[in-house]
Amino acid sequence: MDIKNLLRKNIAELQPYSCARDEFKGEASVYLDANENPYNAPYNRYPDPLQWKVKEAISEIKHVPATNIFLGNGSDEPIDLLYRAFCEPRIDNVVAIEPTYGMYKVCANINDIEYRKVLLNNSFDFSADEMLQTADEKTKLMWLCSPNNPTGNSLNQDEIAKLLKNFMGIVVVDEAYIDFSSQPGFATKLHEFPNLVILQTFSKAWGSAAIRLGMAFASVEIVQVLNKIKYPYNINILTQKQALKALQEKEQVSNWVQALISERAWLTDELQKLDIIKHIYPTDANFVLVKVDDANAVYQYLVNKSIIVRNRNTVSLCLGCIRITVGTREENEVLIKNLKGF
């Protein structure tokens, strides 16, 4: 499979902007090449456009070579760049599971790309064959999310592998919640699948939604394409520094994850005891989807108590559902106590 044949023609032929930090790499004593201000160090200098230090640190933890890593301004950036690289507006299309994370559809709309939905089954899982049947010769990308948002479950790994083997375009597997899952994820299988793009993020397990840092793991060819079309300095120095700090304190992250997984079990147990909860869907993420009789009423009742959950009532297959993020024990107790009063 040749990635070049999948690219939009203008992107394949694009001569990328060459910034000062691309043309001279390495250490020097006097920098007079980028029209920077010599005062106000260290913020006067442009940051590393390819963020190698951050990538090396991620590489050690994720066991993915640094050359297979793309970093973006949140996961939002690689989501958008994948459309811009592979999908010709008004001509190409993508196929996605439904329901799932809303940004795939919004970015399709922004880029004027047809977005085809394949409804999940009763256990919120998907069929590779159904995705393939929905595709045609203009389908360039497929969107999977595992564990899926807002349903919380992990998708069947054999079906994901089957789709990767049989679809002749790019398959994106969004693993934003993978750290909370008992399943291993696909990061270690990159070399098996040249058409695989894995998305992960600093926004959930890493506790760093504010710094806006998303990761894409993919073949060197795909990473090079994303690098070619991104803004030259897409990750600012404050974010790079803070990410390095977080990566050096990774035990902290495993402690948070362990705590949230056990809080998830506590929260699920307590929700189970409440009459207003009609169903609790199994979850591998740091949130739980529950069905109630009247989601709008429960949502508004909680808002009035100053507790905000996500009303998913209007989402496909989620009629009557609210999505609850796992918080601290104190926060979860406040939620349970108030739900008892509904």
Ligand X SMILES: *Cc1c(COP(=O)(O)O)cnc(C)c1O
Indicate whether 48 belongs to the interface with ligand X (CB under 6 A): no
Sheet holding 321-325, edge to edge: 277-280, 287-292, 321-325, 310-311
Sign of CA dihedral 104, 110, 116, 121: positive
Among the listed ranges 5-13, 121-129, 199-207, 240-248, the one in contact with ligand X (CB under 6 A) is 199-207
**Which contiguous run of DSSP H or E holds residue 56?**
helix 52-62
Indicate whether 208 belongs to the interface with ligand X (CB under 6 A): no
Q: Comparing C-alpha atoms, which of 221, 226, 157, 211 is closest to residue 187?
A: 157
Among the listed ranges 26-34, 185-193, 202-210, 302-310, the one in contact with ligand X (CB under 6 A) is 202-210
Q: At what angle do helices 76-86 and 220-229 cross, to 10 degrees?
A: 100
Nearer to ligand X, 183 or 338 (CB): 183
Indicate whether 209 belongs to the interface with ligand X (CB under 6 A): yes
Contact (Cβ atoms closer than 8 angstroms) between residue 162 and residue 189: no
Q: Which of 51, 146, 201, 283 is in the footprint of ligand X by CB under 6 A?
A: 201
Among the listed ranges 73-81, 135-143, 165-173, 266-274, the one in contact with ligand X (CB under 6 A) is 73-81
Indicate whether 289 belongs to the interface with ligand X (CB under 6 A): no
Indicate whether 74 belongs to the interface with ligand X (CB under 6 A): yes
Indicate whether 259 belongs to the interface with ligand X (CB under 6 A): no
Pairwise CA distance, residues 35 & 319, whole Å = 56
Nearer to ligand X, 7 or 218 (CB): 218
Q: Provide the terminal-to-terminal Cα distance of the chain, rounded to the nearest Å.
A: 56
Contact (Cβ atoms closer than 8 angstroms) between residue 13 and residue 85: no
Q: Which of 101, 193, 206, 281 is in the footprint of ligand X by CB under 6 A?
A: 101
Among the listed ranges 105-113, 129-137, 198-206, 227-235, the one in contact with ligand X (CB under 6 A) is 198-206
Nearer to ligand X, 185 or 339 (CB): 185
Pairwise CA distance, residues 99 & 189, whole Å = 26
Q: Comparing C-alpha atoms, which of 80, 47, 79, 54 is closest to residue 69?
A: 54
Indicate whether 284 belongs to the interface with ligand X (CB under 6 A): no
Q: Which residue is nearest to ligand X (CB)?
A: 74
For the chain, helix, strand, coil in percent to 5 are: 40, 15, 40
CB of 200 to ligand X, least distance (A): 8
Indicate whether 80 belongs to the interface with ligand X (CB under 6 A): no
Q: Which residues bind ligand X (CB under 6 A)?
A: 74-76, 101, 145, 149, 174, 176, 201, 203-204, 209, 214
